Amino acid sequence: MTEDHLDIKTPEYVAIQFKIAGLGSRAAAFIIDQVLLMLVNVLTIVVLFFVMDGMESTSFFLAESSFPIAVVLIGLFVLNWGYFFFFEFFSGGRTLGKKVVGIRVIQENGHSITLLSSFIRNLVRLIDSLPTAYFLGIIMIFFHPKHKRLGDLVAGTIVVHERKAKKKKKLTPIEKEINVRGLSQNDLELDDWTLKSFTAKDWKLVSTYANRFHQLPPDERNHLTRQIADLLLPKTGIDVIGKTDTEIENVLLVLYLILKDEWEFEL
């Protein structure tokens, strides 16, 4: 059986191929997510029962008892809808179920899912779940050539399998330099909002800097380091004043490692 693939060409004319997630993997991820949500829902209802049972009321359905019930029902609705929206945007297009199965939601252009796309995609989820048991969504995914449900069509998204990085037989010069300096992604903490503020242009700048790191004379490299730091580090909240050239180089190289996971594709 031929696997479905999506070919994307970046602005740099690099061809990227993704394996599209089919009904089976998407259903498995959805079942895992639903089981987790069901456990939370049941636990919430049990807690509500004990709270209501302890209230001084002659009936569970009296007017004075209806307010906490209404609050919990609204809260459960927000939880069940917001779970997918929150995780897909803040966790790189992956809910907990998608992480287990190894799939993720991305834009059709290959970029990470945006806040608006995540909102629209999961708002339309209400329609995809009609008339019952996610019937419309299942039918759409099964028959659509790119396995899209209605939410994907409206939001311009697609679900693909995670790209597994290929093992490299030999480290590049910049990777050796990073290892010698003992640097890792954990040396720089960036929240999701800060990470998403870096654009493809920023990635191209810092990757070019890293690739030319050993080719530049010391004086020229120090000057370039300061220039790039003045452009990129304000986004991280790091002040370059008082830092040595080596310290700034380390920050930029760690930033390179972080952005590499977001923007570079292993072909």
Residue 80 has pLDDT above 60, yes or no: yes
pLDDT given for residue 104 in this prediction: 93
Per-residue HEC secondary structure of the chain comes to CCCCEEEEECCCCCEEEEEECCHHHHHHHHHHHHHHHHHHHHHHHHHHHHHHHHCCCCCCCCHHHHHHHHHHHHHHHHHHHHHHHHHHHHCCCCCHHHHHHCEEEEECCCCECCHHHHHHHHHCHHHHCCCCCCHHHHHHHHHCCCCCCHHHHHHCEEEEECCCCCCCCCCCHHHHHHHHHCCCHHHCCCCHHHHHCCCHHHHHHHHHHHHCCCCCCHHHHHHHHHHHHHHHHHHHCCCCCCCCHHHHHHHHHHHHHHHHHHHCCCC
pLDDT given for residue 18 in this prediction: 86
Tell which of 129, 161, 193 closes a domain: 161
Q: Same domain for 102 and 203?
A: no
**What is the share, in percent, of the chain residues with pLDDT greater than 90?**
43
Q: Same domain for 126 and 42?
A: yes
Mean pLDDT of 218-238: 90
pLDDT given for residue 119 in this prediction: 94
pLDDT tens, position by position, 86-97: 999 998 899 999
**Distance from the first to the final alpha carbon of the chain:** 23
pLDDT bucket at 240, cuts 50 / 70 / 90: confident
Q: Same domain for 62 and 136?
A: yes
Q: Same domain for 75 and 126?
A: yes
The least confident of 55-59, 104-108, 139-143, 198-202 is 55-59
Q: Same domain for 99 and 185?
A: no
pLDDT given for residue 61 in this prediction: 47
Residue 2 has pLDDT above 50, yes or no: no
- The answer to whether residue 168 is domain-embedded is no
Q: Same domain for 50 and 121?
A: yes
Domain count, the chain: 2
- The answer to whether residue 166 is domain-embedded is no
CA atoms within 13 A on the CB side of 147: 18
pLDDT given for residue 160 in this prediction: 93
pLDDT bucket at 216, cuts 50 / 70 / 90: confident
Q: Same domain for 124 and 188?
A: no
Look up tokens 């093992």; give the residue: 167
Residue, of 121 and 263, whose pLDDT is higher: 121
Mean pLDDT of 160-183: 80
Q: Same domain for 24 and 144?
A: yes
pLDDT given for residue 9 in this prediction: 67
pLDDT tens, position by position, 141-168: 999 999 999 999 999 999 999 876 555 5
Residue 13 has pLDDT above 60, yes or no: no
pLDDT given for residue 92 in this prediction: 87
- The answer to whether residue 112 is domain-embedded is yes
Residue 267 has pLDDT above 50, yes or no: no
Q: Same domain for 99 and 29?
A: yes
Q: Same domain for 31 and 150?
A: yes
- The answer to whether residue 186 is domain-embedded is yes
Range of the domain at 143: 5-161
Q: Same domain for 42 and 115?
A: yes
Angle, helices 173-181/245-263, rounded to nearest 10 degrees:
120
For CA atoms 69, 70, 75, 77, the dihedral sign is positive
What's the CA gap between 21 and 101, in Å, rounded?
A: 10
What's the CA gap between 214 and 197, in Å, rounded?
A: 28
Tell which of 161, 194, 228 closes a domain: 161
Q: Same domain for 15 and 137?
A: yes
Mean pLDDT of 181-187: 90
